[in-house]
Amino acid sequence: MKRNDQFLICRTQTFYAVGLIVAVSLLGDYLVSRNHEKHALKAIFDNSTHFLIGGISWLIVCINTSFLQNHIECLFQILLCAVIASIIDVDHFISARSLSLKDATILKERPFLHCSTVPVVICACLFYLGSYWRIVIWKKISLIVFIAFSSHHIRDATRRGLWFAPIGSTAPIPYPVYIVLNCVIPFVICCVYIANIPSTQVKYQIINL
């Protein structure tokens, strides 16, 4: 009975978290479009949306793997994912070599942290080294970074596609596909985590929606 109750609670929490991703995405993009000519408000709404989607995405991972036994640690990792997802946009200012919001938003080319090759290579290497040397924290960090970058890049890809240097860019991602991908990726990461973390170090219960 207790196990069934826990399963129901986790499934309910997961349902709400996925709903939050959808709601935040729709509301955030609506606010960005409504303030298109107000650069400061647009930047705030855009970055806040990246922040919330990244954090909620890792929350889904936490719920469905139960590997974060300490609530403080859980909140820290959710916050870390959210911060990384939002701080990616700092490369606009680095590429513009200016602290001016106007200069940062009129770049002719996409800045370096918006190249999807970067997180894929870094996360793959970090995860491999963590597996090879059996350093669990490296694998955790690689997954956090991957979710943060993927949620950010996929959202941006609705306008300009995904950029995989030196190959090139994909076509823009249809809006419904972007929503679905950001809802599905956390569950893919759950499976990767469960398959690669020793059972003695993690107690989990995967949720089948």
pLDDT per residue as tens digits for the range 118-131: 999 999 999 999 99
pLDDT number for residue 193: 82
Does the structure show a pLDDT above 50 at 203? no
Q: Mark out the alpha helices in the chain (DSSP H runs).
A: 2-34, 39-65, 71-87, 90-96, 101-104, 117-132, 136-160, 175-196
Residues 6+ apart with CB under 8 A from 120: 146, 164
What CA–CA distances, in Å, run from 45 to 107, 124, 132, 151?
A: 19, 31, 41, 16
Q: d(Cα 196, Cα 164) in Å, to the nearest integer? A: 27
Residue type, 49: T
Domain boundaries, the chain: 2-201
Does the structure show a pLDDT above 50 at 43? yes
Residues 6+ apart with CB under 8 A from 180: none
pLDDT per residue as tens digits for the range 146-196: 999 999 999 999 999 999 999 999 999 999 999 999 999 999 999 998 888
pLDDT number for residue 70: 65
Work out the number of other CB atoms within 10 angstroms of the CB of residue 197.
Answer: 18
Is the Cβ–Cβ distance between 99 and 125 less than 8 Å? no
Q: d(Cα 38, Cα 81) in Å, to the nearest integer? A: 28
Query: Is-above-0.85 flag for pTM?
Result: yes
